[in-house]
Amino acid sequence: MKRKPYRNFSKPTREKTLRVNHGIKAPKVRLIDEEGGQIGVVATFEAVNQAKANDLDLVEVVSSANPPVAKIMDYGKYQYIKKKQERKNKSKSRQNEVKGIRLGIKTEQHDVEIKRKRAQQFLKKGYKVSIEMILKGRERAYMNKAREVLSEFIKNIEVPVQMDQEIKKSPRGFTAVIKADK
């Protein structure tokens, strides 16, 4: 029996692509020059010729207007700046992501060191780190020791940190959220 190829059923994301030069279908456009000054309503072929004379492109900025608004610009430079801005926004959004580290009272020292190094890596990459101290069964009788272990863990992180959420009691033990101090 032959297997069907994998099909992705997720909805495709449609990026808004701008019409450029001869891709503009409207007979007339409201033209804006490269400095941002309005020239007025011009035939599309004349606007394309004007853009080509300056070694630039005619880009349809607002297609829903009547007539559509087109701007003379360097389209390659425009795309570069747009992608650069998207990368910058993506790196800023990392500050909202939270990575988690779980500890226990019985966690051995070597394992604690590995978790501390992992937390430092997350902090260096710009993530917030949520540290959970999990207490099971009779371990809940040692709340003070658990709080000390958690605060000691945070103190020993080599990256300068700032408490985003102080150590507080949770149903399973204690939690704290830290982020890199800038």
Structure tokens at 110: 């070597």
Residue 35: pLDDT over 60: yes
Contact (Cβ atoms closer than 8 angstroms) between residue 132 and residue 173: yes
Domain definitions of the chain by residue range: 21-75, 94-180
> What is the residue-averaged pLDDT of the chain?
84
Other CB atoms within a 10 A radius of the CB of residue 153 amount to 20
| Yes or no: domain 94-180 corresponds to CATH 3.65.10.10 | no
Winning range, highest mean pLDDT, from 61-75, 79-93, 159-173? 159-173
| Yes or no: domain 21-75 corresponds to CATH 3.40.50.2000 | no
Distance CA 145, CA 136 (A): 14
Higher pLDDT, 14 or 73: 73
Q: For the segment 98-139, what is each residue's pLDDT rounded down to a tens digit?
A: 899 999 888 899 999 999 999 999 988 888 899 999 999 888
Collapsed DSSP state (helix, strand, coil) of residue 151: helix
User: Which pLDDT does position 119 carry in this prediction?
Assistant: 92
Structure tokens at 151: 């605060």
Q: Do domains 21-75 and 94-180 have the same CATH topology?
A: no
Residue 3: pLDDT over 70: no
Residue 56's alpha-carbon distances to 84, 110, 173, in angstroms, are: 21, 62, 63
User: Which pLDDT does position 15 carry in this prediction?
Assistant: 55
In the predicted model, what is the mean pLDDT of residues 151-166? 88
